[in-house]
């Protein structure tokens, strides 16, 4: 397998660092600490370059915030690194290694990768169910227990060494990885790519060794289809063993294996059936409540406009036209929301 080299010199290039500063500042330009850097980007780019070349850069302690995510209010710890130098360094690295990692990723590894979001993964599920009824007779859903927190940092660094033949780059990535006590922090720009990379060998194992024809991974959520229940049970056993021995990870015990014609495939907030797709009931309820709340305010804010466009995106990728006509269209104009966002973008330009 090809190993990439001479990456660090591209990371420490002044143009790359200056671009990283501007990329990292997106959506944060009103913050005083960001304004200060943007007033003299060339100066701070040079300062950051000196830190990296002389290897005096040390990751700052991040600000950890507890949130309750999604409809199920799952507790997560989000780490917020300092804008300068940390976020700028993260961007400088990823501008150079992201295209290289993208080439390595399994085609249906879909989370936190550009143009491979929820709807991209959803298309694969729909096509598999419609076009290959025989090999999608059964479905298995699994996910990794405390994935980010459980990532073994030493195994991750060894994985990076197999891909990059660049000691300086490995030093920098190791500094960022080891700056956290265990696992990878949720919230770092580097973490989402490194987490996907950590399961790259698992993707190859499932596709090439176990020969699972229809397999989709959304970060640590695993979805597999098969024609034989016994073979899927066997594959699950091998996957669990692989995770335990090779990656020091554990599967959650609440896996599901079922006939796809007996119940919808509940995945990524959707319920997939052969030939049609609906939203998960919790998403139906959340969208309906939020639309009514915005309607009662009588005025649509920029934040509300973004929310409505996001909800509309969920709806248009499903067979929920009746829901749209009943609970969204009479209350909120999608075109009005788009105009609010357009006007804000023109103002900021």
**Total Cβ atoms within 10 A of residue 23:** 16
**pLDDT of 71 above 60:** no
What is the C-alpha separation between 94 and 113, in angstroms, rounded? 12
Average pLDDT over residues 196-224: 96
Query: Could you give phi then psi for residue 318, rounded to 5 degrees?
Result: -135, 175
Three-state DSSP string of 104-173:
HCCCCECCCECCECHHHHHHHHHHHHHHCCHHHCEEEEEEECCHHHHCCHHHHHHHHHHHECCHHHHHHH
pLDDT at residue 324, rounded to an integer: 93
Q: What is the pLDDT of residues 142-162, one digit of tens each?
A: 999 999 999 999 999 999 999
User: Which residues, other chains included, contact 346 with Cβ-Cβ below 8 Å and sequence gap of 6+?
Assistant: none
Residue 191 near residue 148, CB atoms below 8 Å: yes
pLDDT at residue 148, rounded to an integer: 94
Report the percentage of the chain scoring pLDDT > 90: 86
pLDDT at residue 1, rounded to an integer: 64
User: Which residues, other chains included, contact 258 with Cβ-Cβ below 8 Å and sequence gap of 6+?
Assistant: 138, 139
Residue 267 near residue 219, CB atoms below 8 Å: no
Average pLDDT over residues 60-79: 76
pLDDT at residue 298, rounded to an integer: 87
Q: What is the pLDDT of residues 308-318, one digit of tens each?
A: 999 999 999 99
What is the C-alpha separation between 114 and 95, in angstroms, rounded? 13
Grade residue 72 by pLDDT with cuts at 50, 70 and 90: low
Residue 5 near residue 170, CB atoms below 8 Å: no
**In a 3-state reduction of DSSP, which class is residue 319?**
coil
What is the C-alpha separation between 212 and 325, in angstroms, rounded? 40
Average pLDDT over residues 189-202: 95
pLDDT at residue 114, rounded to an integer: 87
Q: What is the pLDDT of residues 184-193, one digit of tens each?
A: 999 999 999 9
Average pLDDT over residues 244-263: 95
Q: Tell me the pLDDT of the chain averaged across its residues.
A: 93
pLDDT at residue 52, rounded to an integer: 97
CB-neighbour burial class of residue 288 (10 A; exposed 0-12, middle 13-18, buried 19+)? middle
What is the C-alpha separation between 175 and 235, in angstroms, rounded? 36
**Total Cβ atoms within 10 A of residue 246:** 13
CA 198, 201, 206, 210 torsion-angle sign: negative
């Amino acid at each position: 397998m090809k190993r990439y080299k001479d990456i660090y010199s591209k990371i420490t290039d002044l143009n790359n660092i200056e671009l990283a500063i501007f990329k990292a500042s997106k959506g944060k330009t009103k913050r005083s600490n960001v304004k200060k850097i943007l007033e003299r980007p060339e100066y701070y780019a040079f300062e950051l370059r000196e830190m990296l070349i002389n290897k005096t850069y040390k990751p700052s302690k991040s600000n950890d915030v507890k949130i309750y995510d999604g409809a199920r209010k799952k507790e997560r710890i989000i780490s917020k690194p300092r804008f300068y130098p940390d976020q700028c360094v993260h961007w400088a690295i990823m501008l150079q290694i992201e295209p290289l990692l993208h080439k390595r990723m399994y085609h249906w590894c879909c989370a936190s990768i550009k143009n491979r979001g929820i709807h991209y993964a959803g298309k694969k599920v729909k096509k598999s169910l419609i076009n290959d009824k025989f090999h999608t007779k059964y479905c298995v859903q699994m996910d990794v227990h405390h994935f980010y927190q459980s990532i073994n940092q030493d195994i991750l660094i060894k994985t990076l060494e197999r891909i990059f033949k660049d000691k300086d780059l490995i030093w920098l990535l190791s500094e960022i990885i080891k700056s956290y006590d265990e696992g990878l922090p949720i919230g770092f720009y580097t973490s989402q790519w490194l987490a996907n990379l950590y399961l790259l060998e698992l993707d190859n194992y499932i596709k090439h060794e176990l020969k699972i024809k229809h397999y989709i991974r959304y970060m640590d959520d695993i979805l597999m289809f098969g024609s034989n229940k016994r073979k899927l049970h066997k594959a699950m056993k091998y996957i669990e063993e692989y995770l335990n021995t090779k990656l020091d990870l554990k599967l959650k015990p609440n896996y599901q294996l079922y006939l796809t014609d007996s119940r919808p495939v509940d995945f990524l907030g959707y319920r997939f059936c052969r030939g049609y797709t609906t939203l998960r009931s919790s998403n139906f309820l959340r969208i309906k409540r939020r639309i009514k709340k915005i309607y009662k305010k009588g005025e649509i804010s920029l934040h509300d406009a973004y929310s409505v466009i996001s909800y509309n995106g969920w709806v248009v990728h499903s067979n929920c036209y009746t829901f749209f006509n009943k609970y969204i269209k009479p209350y909120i104009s999608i075109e009005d929301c788009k105009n609010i966002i357009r006007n804000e973008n023109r103002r900021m330009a």
